[in-house]
Amino acid sequence: MYCKNCGEQMNDNQAICLKCGVKTCQGEGFCANCGQTVAPGAEVCLSCGVAVKKAGGDYGKYDKIVIALVCFFLGGLGIHNFMLGETKKGIVKIVLSLLCGIGSILALIDFIRILMDKYEVNPDKAF
């Protein structure tokens, strides 16, 4: 496995790249399979032919359709955020839904971003 940010070779069980400090599978400049440079926006590495995983669209053990449906029906309560490990964001949506109903609007935005593969899972962000 190679770092997608700097191209440095990594062990399969590393959590971050020791050269650049970026989390595993973060970055878009290099192929995780062969370590060669990947063109911006490319879907396939031209060196080894392996599909390049996009930043968005990685929902862990859940399918995109499942996350989209949960977001549509229960998104105002932040349930999809809890499923994706985004606890802070889920709590913010629950509070906003209870106080002023804005959580549903945020869930609709998340729903559209999930369908367009623009949603990025980031457990560290609260919004």
What tokens appear for 71 in the block? 């977001």
Summarize pLDDT for 7-44 with one digit per residue, the tens.
899 988 888 899 999 888 788 889 988 989 998 878 88
Q: Name the band, by pLDDT with cuts 50, 70 and 90, for residue 123.
A: confident
pLDDT at 32: 87
Q: Which residue has the higher pLDDT, 53 or 97?
A: 97
Rounded-to-integer distance, Cα 96 and Cα 90, Å: 10
Classify residue 23 by its DSSP letter.
Answer: B
For residues 83-87, average pLDDT: 92
What are the residue boundaries of the structural domains of the chain, listed by start? 1-54, 64-115
Share of the chain above pLDDT 90, in %: 47
pLDDT at 126 over 80: no
The torsion angle over the Cα atoms of residues 41, 53, 32 and 6, rounded to 10 degrees, is 50
